Amino acid sequence: MSSQRPSPRSGLTEAAALNGTARGRVQGVGFRDFARREAVTLELRGWIRNEIDGGVSFHIEGRRANLDLFLARLERGPALGRVDEVVAEPAGVEGLQDFRIRG
């Protein structure tokens, strides 16, 4: 009987996805544009949108390592913003082709 172990580097190249929210002063400060630029730089796909409660929500897909970098950059946010919290959870990969700003 043989057992297969995942490669220590698996997750760096496998597609993964996250749904998340960011809270703080994240509307009216260029946060969605900032997130789009970061996603494009990291070769990620998905979307981001403003929510009625003043936060933003997002869905992001790509290599796991790049998703982690994206979250770290969102926590920093744009110069005019203030990010109090970024929360994300695993989601299904939808096979999106680009990153878009919605609503």
Active site residue 32: yes
* Residue 50 appears among annotated catalytic residues: yes
Measure CA 70 to chain center.
5
Q: Report the C-alpha gap between 87 and 83 in whole angstroms.
A: 11
Which of the following is catalytic: 32, 36, 45, 73?
32
Q: Is 47 exposed, middle or buried (0-12, 13-18, 19+ CB in 10 A)?
A: buried
Write down the catalytic residue from 23, 25, 37, 50. Answer: 50
* Residues labelled as active-site residues: 32, 50
